[in-house]
Amino acid sequence: MNLEIFWFVLIAVLWSGYFLLEGFDFGVGMLLPFLPRDESERQAMFETIGPVWDGNEVWLVVAGGATFAAFPAWYATMFSGFYLALLLVLVCLIVRVVSFEWRSKAKSPRWRAVWTWANAIGSFGASLVWGVGLANLVYGVPIDANGVYTGTFWDLFSAYTVVAGLAVVLLFAFHGATYLTLKTTGDLLARATRAARLLAVPAALVGAAFLIWTVVVAVDRNDKSVFPPVLPAALGIAVLLLALLFLARGRTGLAFTMTSLGTILVVATLFTSLYPRVMVSSTNFADSLTVQSAASAHYTLAVMSVVALICTPIVLLYQGWTYHVFRHRVSSDAPVA
């Protein structure tokens, strides 16, 4: 494996970590207006993700920074072409951040309701746009011979990419519901379990449709063979069905493990379908950006690799310790601040 492939794989791993951790974070946010019955339960839901949500977003920052350093041509084309979409994501993320900080600043029910819905809308919007945006890498966007995006914002939307966005929304909501079954107690736990069971079927069906369609798109638009993209896709469908089965049997811990694997396998399917390209050109396939053509110089990648091998285990240990410290369930019986 050369350094270009190593960094392509590492960026895929970073996106997998982001979908895994921020996925249940977004899922809890989307369920905030619907699951709790009173303010104490709503506060408990916030507390399940309160200590970890900002750390989860580090994976996105690192993924963006790694793309910029390792594949500057990919970064330049994607971030300029997807400018409005990424701006929408940024607005959604900012709204979420503000909702965490401002919601408790006043006890007015109307004030808290506004920021509860702000968190839910921000979580939904970011999930939808991430699904649409990443699916476009495989589906193809207008790129000229100079690596310049020549399309518009609306060129990012097709039947496939919209289904991708909806699949990510449903998968994250399902993932968030299974996370809540491990972090809550009492009536809130019972409703979280019911919500997970209700979301399991649509998440599995739409997720399976998206994964199958991704393999078809990879073959049709990215000159790929059915294998290897079909492998993570088939595994992704299998784990989503297993999540449904485990929920039916009351095995919520295993269900959460399956939704976690499902989010990782969605990213694995996309990146397996994408390689050896990093962006497919829909106007002229020869203008597609490849791992080799978009990469930085060998020396740059070598230095980055040394830094990554030193720093990545430290970050993983720290974040793992954080989840260990806040591993206990959150009760909704505590007084509301």
User: What is d(CA 230, CA 309) in angstroms, rounded to the nearest whole number?
Assistant: 30
**Do residues 176 and 24 make contact, with C-beta atoms less than 8 angstroms apart?**
yes
For 62, the token pair is 């690192």
pLDDT of 106: 83
Please report, in tens digits, the pLDDT of each residue of the chain (337 residues total).
699 999 999 999 999 999 999 999 999 999 999 999 999 999 999 999 999 998 999 999 999 999 999 999 999 999 999 999 999 999 999 999 999 989 988 889 999 999 999 999 999 999 999 999 999 999 999 999 999 999 999 999 999 999 999 999 999 999 999 999 999 999 999 999 999 999 999 999 999 999 999 999 999 999 999 999 999 999 999 999 999 999 999 999 999 999 999 999 999 999 999 999 999 999 999 999 999 999 999 999 999 999 999 998 998 999 999 999 999 999 876 555 5
The 10 Å Cβ neighbour count of residue 144 is 13
Tokens 């399309």 correspond to 151
pLDDT of 23: 97
User: What is d(CA 235, CA 91) in angstroms, rounded to the nearest whole number?
Assistant: 34
For residues 291-318, one letter each, b for 16 or more C-beta atoms within 10 angstroms of the residue's C-beta and e for the rest, the string is beebbbeeeebeebeeebeeeeeeeeee
Please give the full DSSP string across 102-117, using - where no structure is assigned. Answer: HGGG---HHHHHHHHH
